[in-house]
Protein backbone atom coordinates (compact mmCIF):
# COMPACT_ATOMS: atom_id res chain seq x y z
CA UNK A 1 0.00 0.00 0.00
CA UNK A 2 1.30 3.47 -0.89
CA UNK A 3 1.68 5.95 1.97
CA UNK A 4 0.86 9.66 1.63
CA UNK A 5 0.49 12.57 4.03
CA UNK A 6 -2.16 15.29 3.82
CA UNK A 7 -2.65 18.56 5.65
CA UNK A 8 -4.31 21.94 5.24
CA UNK A 9 -5.63 25.04 6.91
CA UNK A 10 -9.27 26.00 7.45
CA UNK A 11 -9.67 27.18 3.81
CA UNK A 12 -8.58 23.78 2.53
CA UNK A 13 -10.44 21.60 5.03
CA UNK A 14 -13.37 20.49 2.83
CA UNK A 15 -11.08 19.77 -0.12
CA UNK A 16 -8.67 17.86 2.14
CA UNK A 17 -11.49 15.64 3.39
CA UNK A 18 -12.63 14.89 -0.18
CA UNK A 19 -9.11 14.14 -1.41
CA UNK A 20 -8.49 11.92 1.60
CA UNK A 21 -11.63 9.94 0.79
CA UNK A 22 -10.54 9.45 -2.83
CA UNK A 23 -7.02 8.42 -1.77
CA UNK A 24 -8.39 5.80 0.60
CA UNK A 25 -10.64 4.47 -2.17
CA UNK A 26 -7.48 4.11 -4.28
CA UNK A 27 -5.87 2.03 -1.50
CA UNK A 28 -3.53 4.72 -0.16
CA UNK A 29 -2.50 4.69 3.49
CA UNK A 30 -3.25 8.33 4.36
CA UNK A 31 -1.71 10.11 7.35
CA UNK A 32 -3.75 13.22 8.08
CA UNK A 33 -1.78 15.92 9.91
CA UNK A 34 -4.91 18.00 10.41
CA UNK A 35 -6.76 20.00 11.14
CA UNK A 36 -9.68 17.83 12.22
CA UNK A 37 -12.28 20.62 11.97
CA UNK A 38 -12.88 23.55 9.58
CA UNK A 39 -12.33 26.10 12.35
CA UNK A 40 -9.86 28.90 11.68
CA UNK A 41 -6.26 27.92 12.36
CA UNK A 42 -2.71 28.84 11.39
CA UNK A 43 -1.45 26.67 8.51
CA UNK A 44 2.14 26.29 9.81
CA UNK A 45 0.77 24.33 12.79
CA UNK A 46 -0.45 21.59 10.43
CA UNK A 47 2.23 21.86 7.72
CA UNK A 48 5.38 21.62 9.86
CA UNK A 49 4.53 18.10 11.15
CA UNK A 50 3.81 16.89 7.60
CA UNK A 51 7.03 18.41 6.27
CA UNK A 52 9.06 16.87 9.11
CA UNK A 53 7.61 13.44 8.27
CA UNK A 54 8.62 13.82 4.63
CA UNK A 55 12.01 15.31 5.51
CA UNK A 56 12.76 12.31 7.75
CA UNK A 57 11.69 9.81 5.09
CA UNK A 58 8.86 8.49 7.26
CA UNK A 59 6.34 9.33 4.50
CA UNK A 60 7.39 9.68 0.84
CA UNK A 61 4.84 12.20 -0.47
CA UNK A 62 2.27 14.71 0.66
CA UNK A 63 -0.59 16.97 -0.34
CA UNK A 64 -1.05 20.36 1.31
CA UNK A 65 -3.91 22.82 0.84
CA UNK A 66 -4.71 26.39 1.81
CA UNK A 67 -6.64 29.25 0.21
CA UNK A 68 -3.93 30.21 -2.29
CA UNK A 69 -1.61 27.22 -1.90
CA UNK A 70 1.25 29.64 -1.31
CA UNK A 71 1.47 29.80 2.48
CA UNK A 72 1.52 26.04 2.91
CA UNK A 73 4.10 25.65 0.11
CA UNK A 74 6.35 28.32 1.62
CA UNK A 75 6.21 26.59 4.99
CA UNK A 76 6.87 23.10 3.59
CA UNK A 77 9.71 24.32 1.41
CA UNK A 78 11.70 25.45 4.47
CA UNK A 79 12.74 21.80 4.84
CA UNK A 80 15.77 20.91 2.68
CA UNK A 81 14.39 17.64 1.27
CA UNK A 82 10.83 18.81 0.76
CA UNK A 83 9.97 20.07 -2.71
CA UNK A 84 6.43 21.42 -2.66
CA UNK A 85 5.02 22.44 -6.01
CA UNK A 86 1.94 24.62 -6.41
CA UNK A 87 -0.56 23.47 -9.05
CA UNK A 88 -3.94 24.76 -10.15
CA UNK A 89 -4.07 22.78 -13.38
CA UNK A 90 -3.32 19.05 -13.89
CA UNK A 91 -0.48 19.83 -16.31
CA UNK A 92 1.32 21.83 -13.61
CA UNK A 93 0.98 18.93 -11.16
CA UNK A 94 2.44 16.64 -13.79
CA UNK A 95 5.33 18.99 -14.60
CA UNK A 96 6.26 19.59 -10.98
CA UNK A 97 6.79 15.82 -10.67
CA UNK A 98 8.44 15.29 -14.07
CA UNK A 99 10.83 18.24 -13.99
CA UNK A 100 11.20 19.18 -10.29
CA UNK A 101 10.81 15.82 -8.53
CA UNK A 102 8.25 17.44 -6.22
CA UNK A 103 7.32 15.24 -3.29
CA UNK A 104 4.53 17.52 -2.07
CA UNK A 105 1.60 18.88 -4.07
CA UNK A 106 0.24 22.25 -2.95
CA UNK A 107 -3.32 23.14 -3.96
CA UNK A 108 -5.11 26.53 -3.84
CA UNK A 109 -8.57 25.64 -2.49
CA UNK A 110 -10.09 29.06 -3.20
CA UNK A 111 -9.03 29.05 -6.85
CA UNK A 112 -9.81 25.58 -8.18
CA UNK A 113 -12.81 23.32 -8.34
CA UNK A 114 -12.91 19.98 -6.56
CA UNK A 115 -12.85 18.27 -9.95
CA UNK A 116 -9.69 20.10 -11.02
CA UNK A 117 -8.05 19.44 -7.65
CA UNK A 118 -8.71 15.72 -7.98
CA UNK A 119 -7.26 15.72 -11.50
CA UNK A 120 -4.17 17.50 -10.15
CA UNK A 121 -3.81 14.86 -7.45
CA UNK A 122 -4.17 12.07 -10.01
CA UNK A 123 -1.50 13.56 -12.30
CA UNK A 124 0.84 14.18 -9.36
CA UNK A 125 0.54 10.60 -8.12
CA UNK A 126 0.73 8.98 -11.56
CA UNK A 127 3.78 10.90 -12.80
CA UNK A 128 7.38 9.88 -12.25
CA UNK A 129 10.42 12.16 -12.13
CA UNK A 130 12.09 12.22 -15.55
CA UNK A 131 15.60 12.65 -14.20
CA UNK A 132 18.08 13.26 -16.99
CA UNK A 133 18.70 16.94 -17.62
CA UNK A 134 16.38 17.82 -14.72
CA UNK A 135 18.36 15.89 -12.12
CA UNK A 136 21.29 18.33 -11.99
CA UNK A 137 18.87 21.24 -11.56
CA UNK A 138 16.99 19.55 -8.76
CA UNK A 139 20.25 18.89 -6.95
CA UNK A 140 20.96 22.63 -7.07
CA UNK A 141 17.74 23.53 -5.24
CA UNK A 142 19.26 23.03 -1.78
CA UNK A 143 21.31 25.94 -0.45
CA UNK A 144 24.97 25.14 -1.16
CA UNK A 145 27.02 24.31 1.94
Q: Which residue numbers are catalytic? A: 66, 99
Closest CA to 61 of 90, 118, 102, 98: 102
Q: How many residues does the chain have?
A: 145
Separation in Å, CA 121 to CA 19, 45, 56, 110: 8, 23, 23, 16
Q: Taken in order 25, 26, 31, 37, is the CA torsion positive or negative?
A: negative
Reply yes or no: is the peptide bond before residue 25 cis, omega within 30 of 0: no
Cα separation, 19 vs 129, whole angstroms: 22
Q: Taken in order 60, 123, 41, 67, is the CA torsion positive or negative?
A: positive
Amino acid sequence: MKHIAISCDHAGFELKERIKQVLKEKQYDVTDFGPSTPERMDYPDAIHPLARAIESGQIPMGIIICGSGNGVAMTANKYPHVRAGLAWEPELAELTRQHNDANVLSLPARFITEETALKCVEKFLDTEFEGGRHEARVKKIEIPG
